[in-house]
Amino acid sequence: MTLRKEIQSSHAPKQEVPGFVLGLRSFVFFPEVALMFARPGRLRFPAVGFEWKSMKPQPRHFASVLFLVGASLLHAQAPATAPASTAATPAPPDWSLPGSATHKQVAPPADFHRPSTTITGAIGLFEGQSDVGSALVPGSASHDATAGTYTISSAGYNVWYTRDEFRYLWRKMSGDVSLAADISYPDPNGYGDRKAVLVIRQNLEDDAKTVVVAVHGAGMIHLADRPEKGIRMRDLEFRVGGRGSRPGGASPDSLVNVTARRIGLEKRGDSFALFVSLEGEPMTQYGPPIKVPFAEPFYVGIGFCSHLPVTVDTAVLSKVVLENSAGKVR
């Protein structure tokens, strides 16, 4: 380096090296030590207590200078540790925003799709899991075998209209099916239309033929289906309420939502039925069955959608029953 040559050349006998020369070269190569060389005839390294006042430097002084300048060079050339970066979440499209006082919820564009993201490997009763429709924020799931719980976290605009976004734990099956689970939401303040779901699905594409039973955050229960790929969903909805000093009521006359504790889905041939237990009583069929034919095999499983395109929420499904026959919902 030029600076090193300048200092080494000053080792010649009786050669004077004004401090401002060193200062200039230090400024070019080592800005952090430039001020140390700024005064002619005086060099200072306050951090290590070194000071040179003589205009005729001694070799031992220059050895110290070389050491300090070399250390400065290493410091200047060392790569800075980059701060951990988090990729920004893409802005959700306007159509995906939920309904509010200032925004009307609408269906996705007819040609809008995202490929689903699948994670292979068993999780409890299920063979795999997928972010159906790949919400803008990835979902996750865990299984506690001791507690018998599945904790599912997911963003997602909805499971509705012509396409879906939700975290789905699934198993491929054929024939008749009985599926049931207790539902709970750890955060009581989540969006009212979030939904924990029991799902039978033809495939993992976002617009697949599907049958869904769900408990919404605000308590609505429904049996819904998309009878063919890409068709808008339809449903039967049930809202249960009660009066008489129920928790949350302003008075004994207030009508208070009653949220089902447990839901079930039965497939018997091409017929599908919703079963409900409100407070732990034996499960009862709600409403008439619907008919949707599926090719075999199909996907059977549980899932959750926050109903918010970039906000992750969580549902816990427990005491899951999954039987390869009808009449076993319990």
For residue 157, with 0-12 CB atoms within 10 Å meaning exposed, 13-18 middle and 19 or more buried, which class applies?
buried
**pLDDT tens digit string along 199-230?**
999 999 999 999 999 999 999 999 999 999 99
Mean of per-residue pLDDT scores for the chain: 82
Q: Which domains does the chain have, with CATH numbers?
A: 2-76 (no CATH), 115-241+252-323 (2.60.120.200)
Q: Lowest mean pLDDT of 42-51, 147-156, 169-178, 264-273, name the range.
A: 42-51
- Residue 156 has a pLDDT of 98
The Cα–Cα gap between 145 and 22 comes to 71
The backbone torsions φ and ψ at residue 261, rounded to the nearest 5 degrees and listed phi first, read: -80, -35
Asked if 18 contacts 41 with a C-beta cutoff of 8 angstroms, the reply is yes
Region 227-254: mean pLDDT is 93
Neighbour-count burial for 309-330, b at 16+ CB within 10 Å, e otherwise: bbbbbbbbbeebebbeebebbe
Contacts of 161 by beta carbon, 8 Å cutoff, 6+ apart? 107, 108, 232, 233
Question: What is the percent of the chain with per-residue pLDDT over 70, rounded to a whole number?
Answer: 74
